[in-house]
Amino acid sequence: MAAGRPLVRVRPVAEIRQVQVTFDCAEPERVARFWCEVLGYTVVPPEGYSSWDAFNRERFPDGEGAWCSASDPTGAGPRLFFQRVPEGKTVKNRVHLDVRVGTGLTGEERLAALEAECARLVPLGATRQRLLYDGTDSCIVMQDVEGNEFCLD
């Protein structure tokens, strides 16, 4: 024991845990479909259902709840889960996604890759917020169809 502190035993991690990223939103299916277009993901309904709409109608006949999810068809990326919440977004997210489109690139070449991806996403409903560029490194801060911030990095 060091200086009056109890000995802390650290358990070894038994296995790697997968991560799911959850979005609170007003229109889960709309936001899920946006992110599917951005990332090349697909909407995967719950087991035993033909669609998230069928699942939601059965689970929430009053229309109060709605969920949707998007998955990486390769299995490499995390599952994205979208859940309806009653309140709207009022402040900047504390966590955001970085969409890595300029990995390994620098300067004008990196900036061109980011600008090309931005041009692809704006017609899908994304909003460009600002460019951060120091002559070498760059990213474009954007918002999804419900105002959630993300970066093209």
- Tens digits of residue pLDDT in 51-99: 998 898 888 877 666 899 999 999 999 999 999 988 888 888 888 999 9
- Tens digits of residue pLDDT in 14-56: 566 778 999 999 999 999 999 999 999 999 899 999 999 889 8
Query: What does the pLDDT average to over 96-108?
Result: 92
* Residue 3: per-residue pLDDT: 60
* Residue 41: per-residue pLDDT: 98
Domain ranges of the chain: 19-88, 89-153
Q: Which residue from 36, 131, 28 is spatially nearest to 77, judged by alpha carbons?
A: 36
What DSSP string describes 24-57? EES-HHHHHHHHHHHHT-EE-PPTT-S-HHHHHH
pLDDT over 90 at 9, yes or no: no
pTM over 0.85: no
